[in-house]
Amino acid sequence: MSTNSLIRRFGSREVGPGRPVYVCGEIGINHNGELENAFKLIDAAAEAGCDAVKFQKRTPEICTPRDQWAIERDTPWGRMTYIDYRHRVEFGEDEYRAIDDYCTSKNIDWFASPWDTEAVAFLEKFDLPAHKVASASLTDDELLRALRSTGRAVILSTGMSTPKQIRHAVEVLGSDNILMCHATSTYPAKAEELNLRVINTLQQEFPNVPIGYSGHETGLQTTLAAVALGATFVERHITLDRAMWGSDQAASVEPQGLTRLVRDIRTIEASLGDGVKKVYESELGPMKKLRRVSGVVAEAEIADAAGEPVGV
């Protein structure tokens, strides 16, 4: 199989093996319904060097079970019913137009996970690089069919899903223009339940699908390990402040951490190399100084090493 069958086009960027890891800051609903917060999070993601920010788009009447609409809860905006709260944290078209313009001005992609088919139609008003299927929606065939029909790249998240359910979702979506991410759907996820080797299991089971990682853990090390294991894109929730009100804030990365995460991802991907054993020109000096053969420096060996890569 040619490597190119594993490359997905996201607008002007390419995602897949051999391409820079595509890093997405998941804003989700951490903006708490305030456009100003969304802009600040976009600033943080762009400054950190992320390729994209992501949102979640729901039609509250469809996504909220009818028997929960009237349940009252305390919120930063006072006591309100659950359905009113769901509307309060949802952006409409004007806000997304402003987000679209803002992201363009910052040269950062944005896209979203639609949680229902109306949300797909809503997002299709914009020229987005991709759509995402949240792990919770993996078994929603109607949603998957609607996403397939957009012709855009679709990122399928696989938390809380069995291998059989994942295979079925791939059948519904088709494998030509999808990417898949390994995820554990707990918030925050424990290290012992991240099971990062599943990244390699998915690579083997779906050899023509680029595999990435959607993390909900605290800390950054395990997301960096996912990159070392071959994740071609990475998503982490981002927040302005982990202490802010909202269910996802505590398991999110703050701006400083995001900057470190992207910096370290870039270092790791540069360090992974191409896997071909070679002697670097920069090693010739140390070789001359340090390597001894029968008490003398092996001049011939240096000359040899300066040539073609050495096969092993």
Instruction: Give residues in contact with ligand PEP (CB under 6 A).
Output: 56, 113, 132, 134-135, 157, 159, 181, 183, 185, 214
Q: What is the distance between the alpha carbons of residues 261 and 257, in angstroms, rounded to a whole number?
A: 6
Q: What is the distance between the alpha carbons of residues 40 and 11, in angstroms, rounded to a whole number?
A: 23
Smaller CB separation from ligand PEP, 179 or 183: 183
Provide, rounded to whole angstroms, the least separation between the CB of residue 90 and ligand PEP: 13
Smaller CB separation from ligand PEP, 120 or 183: 183
Smaller CB separation from ligand PEP, 135 or 252: 135
CB-CB contact of 305 with 279 (8 Å): yes
- Count of CB atoms within 10 A of residue 249's CB? 20
Smaller CB separation from ligand PEP, 113 or 203: 113
Smaller CB separation from ligand PEP, 227 or 305: 227
Provide, rounded to whole angstroms, the least separation between the CB of residue 57 and ligand PEP: 9
Residue-wise DSSP of the chain? --GGGG-EEETTEEESTTS--EEEEEEETTTTT-HHHHHHHHHHHHHHT-SEEEEEE--HHHHS-GGGTT-EEEETTEEEEHHHHHHHT---HHHHHHHHHHHHHTT-EEEEEESSHHHHHHHTTS--SEEEE-GGGTT-HHHHHHHHTT-SEEEEE-TT--HHHHHHHHHHH-STTEEEEE----SSBPGGGT-TTHHHHHHHH-TTS-EEEEE-BSSSHHHHHHHHTT-SEEEEEB-S-TTSSSTTGGGSB-HHHHHHHHHHHHHHHHHH--S-----HHHHHHHHHH--BTTB--HHHHHHHTSSPPP-
CB-CB contact of 80 with 73 (8 Å): yes
Provide, rounded to whole angstroms, the least separation between the CB of residue 25 and ligand PEP: 12
Provide, rounded to whole angstroms, the least separation between the CB of residue 143 and ligand PEP: 12
Residues in the chain: 312
Provide, rounded to whole angstroms, the least separation between the CB of residue 20 and ligand PEP: 20
Smaller CB separation from ligand PEP, 65 or 307: 65
Provide, rounded to whole angstroms, the least separation between the CB of residue 150 and ligand PEP: 16
Smaller CB separation from ligand PEP, 56 or 223: 56
Provide, rounded to whole angstroms, the least separation between the CB of residue 212 and ligand PEP: 10
Provide, rounded to whole angstroms, the least separation between the CB of residue 60 and ligand PEP: 15
Smaller CB separation from ligand PEP, 132 or 152: 132
